[in-house]
Each structure stands twice: as structure tokens, then as C-alpha cells.
Amino acid sequence: MELFINLTLFFMLVVTALAILRMRHLFAVVALSGVFSLLCALLFVTLDAVDVAFTEAAVGAGISTVLLLGTMALTARNEKMPRSFSPVPLLVVVATGAVLIYGTLDMASFGSALSPAQTHVAAQYLERTPTDMGIPNVVTAVLSSYRGFDTLGEVVVVFTAAVGVLSLIGGLGRRRYKKEEAQE
């Protein structure tokens, strides 16, 4: 049953990706990328990674879609057809894909108890969380306490993203923007 669910989800994922490639109407592309994120979230659920699935559904399908729509409203609604066929992008994609597949050959098999993810600190986290914090969600314990430094870095990155967007496309420099408009 799980195999069937996984195969169905992956099949739908590939179909969505191909549909995104074929589409020229960007509104449909944005909607389909939301579908793609939701399918990814479902795959994470089947892997029992509910916290990741939650994030993917909220950020990938929710916020990203809105931001992409916002970007689209600022630019164009339709993708331009490429003028001529160029082999370089195809080569880059094929080469990257080949390297990625080659990389997976070295990975531990799915669900293996001997994979580095299981043998390193994860077992300790699982063991110690009930006594250290007494909370049931180990993911939260790892994110905010054992790996608090990393999470602090992540939050600073999110903050930096806002600073970057605001300094690039306005929000902070609104007055200057208006002044320039007036000069024109």
C-alpha cells in the first residue's frame, strides 16, 4: 500500500513538473508550482516528516505562490518563446542530473538502520529529550535547544531576506522613490 501511494505521488509529481515545463501561461505555472509543493508535502507525510511537510505546505504552497503571483503582476503574464534552440542549458541540466543520480548511489538504502542519520547523534536526541526537556516533540527539542545556534542563524537569514527585499524593491526608501518620480 505504501509503495502504491509513493508511486502515485511521484508519478503526479513528474506529471506536474512536465506540465510546468510545457506551459507558457505563467498564471497556470504558478498554480501548478503550488500543486507541486503540496505533492511534496504529501510525500514528506508518507516519510513521517510531518514538521517538514507542514513547512512545505505553508511556505511552498502558500507564501511562495502569493509572492510568485505578486512578481508576475509586476512583470509579464506569458513566457516568451525562446528564439532558437540552444544546447547549453540542456547540457547543464543533463550533467547536473547525472551527477545527482551518481550521488544517490552512495547513499544508504532507504530506511536503513545503518545510515549516518540513524547512527550519529539522532539516537542520543531521541533518548535524552524526555529527561532533558520532558516534551514529546523531539523535532522541536532538536531545533530550538540542541541546535539552537543553527535556528538562530536561520532566523537571522529570514530577517536578512526581508532587509534585502526591502532595500531592493522599496518599502524603506519610499520617500526617495517618490522624489525620483517627481523629478521625472
User: By the criterion CB under 8 A, which residues form the site for another protein?
Assistant: 27, 50-51, 53-55, 58-59, 62-63, 66-67, 70-71, 73-74, 77, 131-137, 139-141, 143-145, 148-149, 151-152, 154-156, 158-159, 161-162, 165-166, 169-172
Please tell me the chain's helix, strand, coil percentages from 3-state DSSP, rounded to the nearest 5.
Answer: 75, 0, 20
- C-beta of 154: minimal distance to another protein in Å? 8
**Which C-beta is closer to another protein: that of 47 or that of 63?**
63
- C-beta of 176: minimal distance to another protein in Å? 14
| Integer angstrom CA distances of residue 80 from 68, 76, 83, 98 | 17, 9, 9, 28
- C-beta of 24: minimal distance to another protein in Å? 16
**Which C-beta is closer to another protein: that of 17 or that of 59?**
59
- C-beta of 146: minimal distance to another protein in Å? 10
CB atoms within 10 A of CB 40: 19
Query: Using DSSP, how many helices (H) and how many strands (E) does the chain show?
Result: 10, 0
**Which C-beta is closer to another protein: that of 93 or that of 135?**
135
- SS3 call for 94: helix
**Which C-beta is closer to another protein: that of 13 or that of 68?**
68
Question: What does the block give as the cell for 90?
Answer: 540542456
CB atoms within 10 A of CB 86: 9
